Chain A
């Protein structure tokens, strides 16, 4: 009979030890070990989408009478009257330039993206890159045209 009592005591002691261990692991995991904060990633992703799109739209086209990308996107959405010196029309020229610039920047930095210019999102006028599967930082830039508004949108994945 005393044997059984001592067994129960040992079991109680073991339970107390396990509880203390669990509590210690919990304290160490959540209070003592700090999760790292990536300040740079936050800054870069916040700046990247907006700076990239603003800069791109301001850029003058080298083979299109020095028109800006904004002007070419406007033409692309409303009449496609501009033919660039290399024979391309505005939509194709903007798409090719976007591919070239984003290829030398975002692709080089291993950043996935999707660039769209549209009046109706279901049938974009210009599209480069691939759709972000999960989290993304987005910048939408409305450009006024005579009948409606054309939107330039850049999604930076991750």
Chain B
């Protein structure tokens, strides 16, 4: 009778130890899952940022709007006269430009001498997760007057 009681106590102890052990394992697993989830969110954010930088760089070096003189490309410059043609080309070949510019809104704002605005691409989504606005100062060249004005290339990228 005494021996049976002792083994019952031992079984109880083992069950208690196993119970505590599984609680600890569960807490550890929950913590690990949270950390991993946080890291995935972080990687998603970084990926969105990289995509936004990629789109900004693609727009800055788009031959459709870039200035050139005697077939030599001028960096950091947009030809105002090319803008209208580029706009209609972009709306015509929507799919091709979607591959390049994804979900974004691209505007060119003239700051000086006068204020002006051109929208060259716009494809937005309502249920976006991240929204990045990148402003790049850019020279706006008017080939008719051969003068440069001060502008900003405003690139808003959206990601799900």
Minimum distance in angstroms from A3 CB to a CB of chain B: 22
In the complex, which range does the number of interface residues on chain A fall in?
20 to 34
In the complex, B118 has a CB within 8 A of chain A: no
Contacting chain B: which of A6-14, A28-36, A76-84? A28-36
Minimum distance in angstroms from A4 CB to a CB of chain B: 26
Question: For A55, A58, A61, A66, which residue has the most chain B Cβ atoms within 10 angstroms?
Answer: A55
Measured CB to CB, the nearest residue on chain B to A60 is B147
Q: Are B149 and A60 in contact (CB-based, < 8 A)?
A: yes
Size of the B side of the interface (Cβ < 8 Å), in residues, is 32
Measured CB to CB, the nearest residue on chain B to A47 is B136
Over the window 25-69 of chain B, the binary record of Cβ atoms lying under 8 Å from chain A Cβ atoms (1 yes, 0 no) is 000000010010011001001100110110010000000000000
In the complex, B76 has a CB within 8 A of chain A: yes
User: Which residues on A sit within 8 Å (CB–CB) of B45?
Assistant: 36
Question: For A40, A52, A105, which residue has the most chain B Cβ atoms within 10 angstroms?
Answer: A40
Q: Are B148 and A59 in contact (CB-based, < 8 A)?
A: yes
Grouping DSSP codes into helix (H, G, I), strand (E, B) and loop, the A interface class, with mixed when no group exceeds half, is: helix
Which residues of A come within 8 Å of B, CB atoms? 28, 32-34, 36-40, 43-44, 47-48, 51-52, 54-56, 58-62, 66, 68, 97, 100-101, 104-105, 109
Measured CB to CB, the nearest residue on chain A to B135 is A109
A105 to B151, CA, bound (A): 10
Q: Are B52 and A40 in contact (CB-based, < 8 A)?
A: yes
